[in-house]
Structure formats: C-alpha cells, structure tokens
Amino acid sequence: MHKLIAALALFAASATAATLTPVQSVTLERISADSLRGHLSFLASDLLEGRGTPSRGQDLAAEYIAAQYRRAGHEPMGDDGYFQTATWTITQPDLAGFAFTLQSGAERLALTPAQVSFAPGAALDANGVALIKARWNDLAPLEALGTAVRGKVVLVEPAPILPQTMAEYQKMLAARDAVLARIARLQPLMVLLFDSQEANGNAGGRGELRDPAVPKAPAAVRLLSMHGGQAARFFNALPDGDSGGTLDLHLAAASVKQVKLRNVAALLRGSDPVLKDTYVVLSSHYDHLGMRTDTIFNGANDDGSGTVAVIEVASALAAMKERPKRSVLFLNVFGEELGMLGSAYYGRHPLVPVRQTVADLNLEQLGRTDGMHGPMLRKAALTGFDFSGLPAVLAKAGSMTGVEIVKDTQGDRYFGASDNVAFAALGVPAHTLSVLFEFPDYHQPGDQWQKIDYANMASISRTVALGVLMLADAMPTPQWNAQQPAAAPYLNAYKALAPQAPAK
C-alpha cells in the first residue's frame, strides 16, 4: 500500500503545476450539462418504461445509445453493428390457479403470490403434505428423523444475511447453501423458508434469465419463501419437529422462451501504431428495474446518469483531430440489476483481447448530489480505492478539472457490486466511479431525470474524459496493489495474463 500512497502523494505534489493542454481543454469543453440533460430526459422517460431486462423499453434505449455512437462516427464493435447480442432463455412464472394454504388445527392461512417468493420452474403440487419445523442453527433433531422427512415439507427460518462487504455476502451465501445441502440429503418435497427480512414476496419474479451456453447446477432442493406478519404468526405458533401442520400448494409449470439481449459497444481507434492494439474501457449499465405492477422505475441516476456520461465522453473524444494513442472501447451493458449479467457475458465473450485491456472505468450514479450527509459537490468516489493505481490517475485528472476524487468508507463494500467486477475477475484493473453510492429514491419510482444536478454531472464527466485520455496515453499502465489483501484475487488473475501481455 505504501507504493500507492507514494504515488498519490506525487500526484498531489504536482497538482499545482499540472494544467490542461489546449487540446484537452477544447475536448472537455464539448461536454455540456444541456447535452447530458437532453440524453437523460429521453433514456429515463416514461416511454422507455424503466429499461427492464428484457423489455421493449430496453431495446429502445439500446437503439438510442447506438445512434449516438453512429452519429459520433465511432467504429461498431458488436456482432450486429454496435450490438453484442446474446440469445438467452427466460423462464417466467405461470400464476394461473396459484394456491398456497397452510393449516394447523383450526388455524388456516392462505397466502397470495405477493406474499410468496420462488424461482419459476417445474410444476409443484402438495396436498395436505406434513410440515416439519426445524431450527436453522440446529439441524440435528431434523436429521435424527431420517427417512421420516422424505416427501414432507421442511419449514425453517434462515439466518439473516446482513453483510458489510461483498466477501461477507459470499461467505454468508456459502453458509446458507451448506445448511440447505444438509436438509436436501433428507429428500423433502421442498423447503419452505420464513423470511423475516423481506416483508413482501416476488410472486415468481419477472423471470429467470439464463445463458444456455452456461451449465446450471441443479438446485439441491426446491425452495419457496413466505413473508409478512401473517406468515410470522403462523410460523411462530408451530412446534418444532412434526408440527401437525400441513401445506396445500398448486404452482403451475413455468414457461420458457428465447430472448435477445444486447450490450452496446463502440470503439475509438487509437493513433499509435503499437498502442492502438491496447484498450481502455469506459463502461456503464443501461438497464434499470423496469415496471412493477403499473409503476415505472425510471432509473435516472441508476444508471441513466452513467450511461449518458459514457455517451457524452464518447462524443467529445470523437471530435479530437489527433486521437489518443490507445483505443477506447465504450461499453453499455444489460442486466446489471439482475446480477451483472451483461458485463459477465462480456467477460465470457470479450470484444477486445483481455490481456491487452489496460483498465476499465465503470460509471454509476453520477447525477445526484443530495447525499444522506449533505451535498456532494464536485466530488466523486471510486470503489476499491486502494486496490490498484487507477484511482491515482483519476485523482490527477480531478486535480486538473477541479473535482476531488475521494476515498469513501463504503467503497470496498461496493467494489464487487457493479460491472467493474467482471473486468477485475479477468485481471483488468477496474473500478466504479460514483458521486453517491447511496441516495434518496435509490431503486424507487422517484429516481427521475428532473432531480439530477447536471452542472455537477458535467464537471464529473469532464474529469472522466480527462482520466480516459490519460489512461489512453500513459505509460506505464495501472497495476493491482500487491499490498492490499482484498485485491489479491484480481492480482492473481492479472498474473495469469501477464506472460502473454505486450511489454509495457
């Protein structure tokens, strides 16, 4: 870490002497608040219905983004013009005839789909099937029942997942999977979870998207969750073991169909005869939550703001008479809100060689400045600030544009929660830049384009543009910080690439 601190100190010491070149100044001046507002007022409009994955609104957004790259004269990089297409399947729930009734003596509880969560799949029927109540942290009594559990419903309240970091989250998921695997060995019909963390169910969700080329491990056991106060009272009233309660359930088989999903990709080809075959990636996700019932989740800040910043930077750099030495790939991905699906797809099918990709700067939530602890003006934070040398480059760019690049205490927690992680897993130094990691209206209908601070967003976008130019012209390139334990998996991935990498 001391090397990274020394590098930051060097940049800080030279900040007063660092000034923009005339070419840089002209390029950055092309980025305007009005242009950002114009793009975002369309992408976050009701017409696009929240850009859910998949949806017609998302397709419209992809076409709009591609049109901006086409207008700027950038090189298309997909298999279909500016589109990297992925033909996947979507499995959607069929709620026709849905019935879910719990019975215990005179107590009868019927739950609606909105009070139940499940993954769509094969049909599931239970007619008066016995409920066996277990304790999550003490499965010995359940296991002692042995074959008596077979074909029954195991009812259990899982331990809460309250992680502070992505590593903690993954550890908690692994622990949960281990418990479920123990229950599965007893061959119950299904496991019914009482979820005290979430008040509402997902009714099967909008559908489960899958890449058919990626094998899916079969689930250890079929899972459903029940939610809410009624479910809590029923659960708490049941005795442990063979509770005397029963479940009647009818869940129809899900439907499966093919869908086409698209990342949008464009290239500014570099000018140097050698370095043009190395790449800087500027990325964002252009999807959001779509519609829930009749409510549109427009997703202006998350992540319309990052998407239009990528568009605006791409337009500004396209107008340069002398291009940067390296090539710059502009990438907008689908399905981040469903688990970073589009960036993971890119990671499996990179459009430019991974070993020649020197950095990825991912943009999220650049537009809102109304933070929980006061306004966030002319400041931005990078996830995993100490993980690599990339933040130092952005810090230097900020010192020249009047924007402070800060280390947020939550930055490490969010490093694995955005699309940069797909590049990091491949060994590419990659971070996400945000003005606010948390803001009012996050994942709410109130995330509207009218609430964006466009003047501040323009300042941040100019800093991004300058940082991209520095990365595209700089030698040496950013490296992972060997002194930071959390960066070790990404450094190891980089080392696996390094023997094949061109000399720096």
Ranges of residues in the chain with a pLDDT under 50 are: 1-17, 500-504
Residues 482-498 pLDDT 10s: 999 999 999 999 999 86
Residue ranges of the chain assigned to CATH 3.40.630.10: 2-91+258-500
Element (H, E) at 430: strand 430-434
Question: For helices 390-401 and 2-14, what crossing angle results, to 10°?
Answer: 20
Token reading at 406: 């800060």
Instruction: Give pLDDT, residue 166.
Output: 63
Instruction: Give pLDDT, residue 499.
Output: 62
Give the SS3 label for residue 310: helix
Task: Give the C-alpha separation, 28 to 16, whole Å.
Answer: 19
Question: For helices 22-29 and 454-473, what crossing angle results, to 10°?
Answer: 140
Residue ranges of the chain assigned to CATH 3.50.30.30: 94-253
Instruction: Give pLDDT, residue 348.
Output: 97
Show the CA angle centred on residue 469, arms to residues 467 and 471, nearest 5°.
70
Task: Give the C-alpha separation, 327 to 271, whole Å.
Answer: 8
Q: Which residue has the tokens 């496991």?
A: 191
Task: Give the C-alpha separation, 50 to 43, whole Å.
Answer: 9
Instruction: Give pLDDT, residue 12.
Output: 43
Q: The CATH number of 94-253 is which of 3.50.30.30, 1.20.59.20, 3.40.50.720, 3.40.50.2300?
A: 3.50.30.30
Task: Give the C-alpha separation, 72 to 70, whole Å.
Answer: 5
- Whether the bond into 476 is cis, omega within 30 of 0: yes
Instruction: Give pLDDT, residue 11.
Output: 42
Residues 337-358 pLDDT 10s: 999 999 999 999 999 999 999 9
Instruction: Give pLDDT, residue 164.
Output: 65
CATH class of 2-91+258-500: alpha beta
> Pick from 129, 405, 93: which is nearest to 246 by CA?
129
Instruction: Give pLDDT, residue 7.
Output: 44
